[in-house]
Amino acid sequence: MTARGHVKVEKVAKLHGQVAALKGVDFDIRPGEFFALLGPSGSGKSTTLRLLAGLDKPTRGRILFDGKDVTALDAQHRDVAMVFQSYALYPHMTVRQNIAFPLEMAKTPKTEMAERVEDAARKVSIQHLLDRRPGQLSGGQQQRCALARAIVRRSGLFLLDEPLSNLDAKLRLETRAELKKLQRSLGVTAVYVTHDQEEALTLADRMAVFMEGEIRQIGSPAEVFARPNSIDIAGFIGSPPMNLMKARLDNGTPVLAGRPLPLRVKQQAGEIVVGVRPSAITIGEEGMPARVDLVENLGDNAIFDLSFDGGLVRARGPDPLAFAEGQQVAISFDAKDIHLFDAASGHRLEAA
Ligand SMILES: Nc1ncnc2c1ncn2[C@@H]1O[C@H](COP(=O)(O)OP(=O)(O)OP(=O)(O)O)[C@@H](O)[C@H]1O
């Protein structure tokens, strides 16, 4: 007997006519895990979520919930709770009626229904708004109402499609933290679609990075951040993105702008790309000569755009006033902070 909330996706593909929305993806989500589907627009995240919900059927492959094959089951027989970006609340119904809707459908007895609606509303702190209609709520309150409607089902699996994207920046941050606490306290499995890498990094226990209808990497946010397995992922995760600089291999030593770097790879020669995160670049007096082109003052830190003879790089530093535009400086980075990729295939190269 497997625990409740286990999801297994096996070789799932989805074609829309000639368009391959999903080219065959495999992943396993553990019970109680917060699992993010992260990727740029059109990469197949929403398609995957709709297949999990049963709103669409895969062209190939299998989906299992708690060991049971649900591939052929329609949405209403899957026992999943869904929260969409648009909330999808019924405008003519009160908040209470909206939350009660899944229970009405399931013909739940009236007294039990009333209790469960109150309980769900309390969990997202909207118990005082039950008699209003969605049009009389703020965006954040509508979002909570949609969450309460998901909670009321007492499903072990929550499917969330960009649920925070309609909220303003401040509310999004607050709601993000609450959502994580709520998921933990309910003990449910959450599958969360987002194109926002920061949201995935902060919320997820693990994430799958989608690109062009494929999963390119699966891991914890820390793993994917520390060891992106391709140039595409390196450039997608982290803000500002990783600096990616053209270089070459000379007898296994990477050479950047004519200078050998202090590490080696097994491969002997060829075109490579050297990646260094902005936070890993030190600006000072030692290293490669560079010029400060632009200072972006972010208050308690800054991003410096620099040019050097290997190209342009961005560095993040603690003090916005430390360096001025036009100043001649030097940049350096530690060997442990260098990521290497094969230029032709884009794949990560391991240091020897
Ligand atoms: N019903 C459909 N008919 C034809 N093509 C579709 C259909 N639904 C999705 N697609 C295509 O499948 C691909 C994946 O779409 P999907 O909605 O899964 O991407 P996404 O990663 O969720 O993007 P977004 O972040 O923009 O929602 C896209 O190229 C999209 O145009």
CA distance 329 to 314: 13
Output the residue whose Cα is nearest ligand 1's atom 26: 41
* pLDDT reading at 1 higher than 70: no
Identify the pLDDT of residue 2.
Answer: 41
* Residue 11 binned pLDDT confidence (cut-offs 50, 70, 90): very high
What is the rounded (10 degree) CA torsion for 38, 40, 42, 46?
20
Output the residue whose Cα is nearest ligand 1's atom 13: 21
- 30-81 pLDDT, tens digit per residue, is 999 999 999 999 999 999 999 999 999 999 999 999 999 999 999 888 889 8
Copy the structure tokens of residue 349.
């190269």
Dist. CA 215 → ligand 1 center (Å): 15
Rounded average pLDDT over 225-242: 95
ipTM of the complex: 0.94
Ligand 1 atom at minimal distance to the Cα of residue 19: 5
Q: Roughly what angle, to the nearest 10 degrees, separates helices 110-123 and 169-186?
A: 130
Ligand 1 atom at minimal distance to the Cα of residue 14: 12
* Residue 3 binned pLDDT confidence (cut-offs 50, 70, 90): low
Domains, the chain:
7-229 (3.40.50.300), 232-349 (2.40.50.140)
Tell me the backbone φ, ψ of residue 98, rounded to 5 degrees.
-65, -45
Task: Determine what percent of the chain is predicted with pLDDT higher than 70.
Answer: 99
What is the rounded (10 degree) CA torsion for 139, 37, 203, 68?
100
Q: Pocket residues for ligand 1 (CB within 6 Å)?
A: 16, 19, 21, 39, 41-47, 195
Copy the structure tokens of residue 27.
């992943």
- 306-327 pLDDT, tens digit per residue, is 999 989 999 999 898 999 999 9
Rounded average pLDDT over 239-244: 95
Identify the pLDDT of residue 4.
Answer: 78
Contact assessment for residue 192 and residue 204, using Cβ atoms and an 8 Å cutoff: yes
Task: Determine what percent of the chain is predicted with pLDDT higher than 90.
Answer: 77
User: Model's pTM, two decimal places?
Assistant: 0.91
CA distance 157 to 301: 40
Give the helix/strand (H/E) hosting 341.
Answer: strand 339-342
Helices (H), the chain: 45-53, 95-105, 110-123, 139-151, 169-186, 197-203, 221-226, 231-236
Mean pLDDT of the chain: 93
Task: Give Cβ neighbours of residue 207 (< 8 Å, ≥ 6 apart).
Answer: 35, 36, 37, 38, 200, 201, 218, 219, 220, 221, 224
Per DSSP, the residues of 165-183 read TTS-HHHHHHHHHHHHHHH
Dist. CA 162 → ligand 1 center (Å): 14
Dist. CA 213 → ligand 1 center (Å): 9
Give the helix/strand (H/E) hosting 82.
Answer: strand 81-83
Among 9, 12, 16, 215, residue to substitute to test ligand 1 (most atoms within 8 Å of Cβ): 16
**How far, in whole angstroms, is CA 86 from its chain's centroid?**
19
